Amino acid sequence: MKRVLITGGAGFIGSHLCELFLKKGYEVICVDNLISGNMDNIAHLFGERFTFLRYDITNPIWIRGHVDYILNFASPASPVDYMNHPIETLKVGAMGTYNILELAREKGACLLHASTSEVYGDPLIHPQPETYWGNVNPIGPRSVYDEAKRYAEALVMAYHRTYGLDSRIVRIFNTYGPNMRPNDGRAIPNFISQALKGEPITVYGDGSQTRSFTYISDEIEGIYRLLMSDYHEPVNIGNPEERRILDLAKLIIEMTGSRSEIVFKPLPKDDPKVRRPDISKAREVLGWQPKVPLEEGLKETIRYFRRLMREGKI
């Protein structure tokens, strides 16, 4: 039986990947230190083919037996989390990635590294192709995440070139769906939680900044296709449909039937003004493009958040 190890496996995207690989018949080893992961995301997965290991991969990691694939999703990913854990974010991007690469090298495993659209920073090219090197403030408050991910990409490519490690790099754009934490800090969970509670919807800046939102089922399909390909350089996996943040807030108010008002607060430092992936590479190499419209994905996400509210978790 093939075995896959998923770091950050109790997190939002990681937990969906654990479920995907179980459905495909793999044995799954989920590793998470639970800084931002949530055991509720994986509670239903426990069984003979699923193992959970609470562990911090900034320490060297040893796994008994063979491992065929490693998916490295260990890192705080929302601004709230990496602002609260700046050193841990840098350490997992550097030391954690190094330790996972060493494990992949020891096991002869194929490694897929989760990178991010944040490597493009506040982009001066729009939409952003993989060939764009980015516009990142290396010492700004967001740099702990941006630069950790940029360094990790360089480290993965160095292992590929030096040791012939079979590697993949996915650049993930804004993704949403069930298993997101209500206090995640990103736009969609913030807006839905505030709308359901009847609280003011917080929009930073004037709301004219744009993002491109990918539903979780589309995202993990793209990630899986990349893993099963033989393409070693970074690939954008995201939705090229661009939305203004203010329009998103209004849509969520409408879809939840909320009476919440919108309030505006100052835009955080170095917050990107635009964000939209060029997915030509994903279409060409993987035959992938997103299928789920924003309204359909939001409907499922709102249903999930309503359940959390009934359970007293919002």
Which residues are catalytic, by number? 145
Give, in order, the Cα–Cα distances in Å from 74 to each of 55, 91, 97, 192.
10, 11, 9, 25
Distance CA(268)–CA(142), nearest Å, equals 9
Token digits of residue 271: 């917050």
d(CA 116, CA 111): 16
User: What does the DSSP assignment read for 46-110?
Assistant: -BTTEEEEE--TTS----SS--SEEEE--S--SHHHHHHSHHHHHHIIIIIHHHHHHHHHHHT-E
Question: Given the DSSP bridges, would you call strands 167-172 and 110-116 parallel, antiparallel or unpaired?
Answer: parallel
The answer to whether the bond into 234 is cis (omega within 30° of 0) is: no
- 44: tokens are 């239903």
Residue whose token pair is 């290991």: 53
- For the four alpha carbons of 120, 126, 131 and 133, in that order, the dihedral sign comes to negative
CA distance 292 to 178: 14
Amino acid, single-letter form, for residue 65: G
Rounded to whole angstroms, the Cα distance separating 10 from 179 reads: 9
> Can you list the alpha helix ranges (DSSP code H) found in 133-284?
143-163, 187-197, 216-227, 245-256, 280-281
